[in-house]
Amino acid sequence: MLHGRVPTATLNGTALHYELVGSGPTCLVLHGWPGTDHTYLRPGLDRLGEELRLVYCDHRGHGRSDRSATELLSLEQLADDADALADHLGAERVLVMGHAHGASVALELALRHPGRVAGLILVAATPGDLGMGESLIDNMDTMPTPPEVEVLQRVPPATDDELEATMGGLAHFFFHGDDDADPETVFALSTFNASAAAQLMAASNWWSAVDRLGELQAPVLLLVGRHDVFYPPAQSERIQKRAASADMTVLEQSGHLPWVEEPDAFAESIRAWLLSVRSG
């Protein structure tokens, strides 16, 4: 597997940091949690580099990408950046894996640039705000949000240090019951940008893909932890009901980071789906 290359590409007027792991079909990996970076996804997802060329990217304004011009942050802009990165890498068609907020970027990428996306792997996803024909019942989470999480999410952190403390507090709720999981290590390698977090969250408040899901051309794999208190299975089901080709796997012993709590089942679900897509 390939490690150690940490290039930067200037795309759409900003410098984007990305890292390459593995070989095979190109798979863009889009992180969630506005104001953080891609590092929390590793090393758990690196094992997929045995069959995929993983491209981890820090969104504009995040991590080691250009941290200026946060006023341009939106899901649409991040989707266009991902499309430009694929072009920079010489990848005409790519798989796209997104986690949480990154799954929303992946959906937007597939809708805005359908010719680019060969398949979507959406982990802990939501299609966003209510669409036509949906009611509040459709958007109700089947698992109540812990009050501690509501408190931590209510007021956007004003400084990078406050954001780091907030994410450290939230990480405790990422896991269902993995005794080996250490919440303090989730964001241990991350850098934080409170300004980027506030801008991207504000720009995303009314975003929705619900009424456009029928336009998706790419096959979709939805992966979600049964005990995810942030984006529970009901959110993935909203996508599955409306996308033309969407398979869904619920990881029964996982919370928000299923590749950590059930690494073998997580990887096998992706491998099986890739085989079905390639043979279909």
Looking at residue 138, its pLDDT comes to: 58
Range of the domain at 241: 8-275
The domain tally of the chain equals: 1
Q: Does a structural domain hold residue 3?
A: no
Mean pLDDT of 40-60: 96
Name the residue among 122, 104, 107 with its Cα closest to residue 269: 122
Average pLDDT score over the chain: 91
Looking at residue 121, its pLDDT comes to: 98
List, for residues 104-131, the tens digit of each pLDDT value: 999 999 999 999 999 999 999 999 988 8
Q: Does a structural domain hold residue 202?
A: yes
Q: Does a structural domain hold residue 156?
A: yes
Q: What are phi and psi of 77, to 5 degrees?
A: -65, -40
List, for residues 206-256, the tens digit of each pLDDT value: 899 999 999 999 999 999 999 999 999 999 999 999 999 999 999 999 999
Looking at residue 19, its pLDDT comes to: 95
Residues of the chain with pLDDT > 70, as a percent, come to 90
Q: Does a structural domain hold residue 1?
A: no
Q: Does a structural domain hold residue 106?
A: yes
**Amino acid letter, 86:** A
Provide the whole-model pTM: 0.94
Residue 140 has pLDDT above 60, yes or no: no
Tokens standing for residue 193: 């940008």
Which residues are paired to 58 by β-bridges? none
Q: Does a structural domain hold residue 2?
A: no
Residue 134 has pLDDT above 90, yes or no: no
Looking at residue 1, its pLDDT comes to: 34
Q: What is the CATH number of the domain that holds 242?
A: 3.40.50.1820
Q: Is 98 exposed, middle or buried (0-12, 13-18, 19+ CB in 10 A)?
A: buried
Grade residue 181 by pLDDT with cuts at 50, 70 and 90.
confident
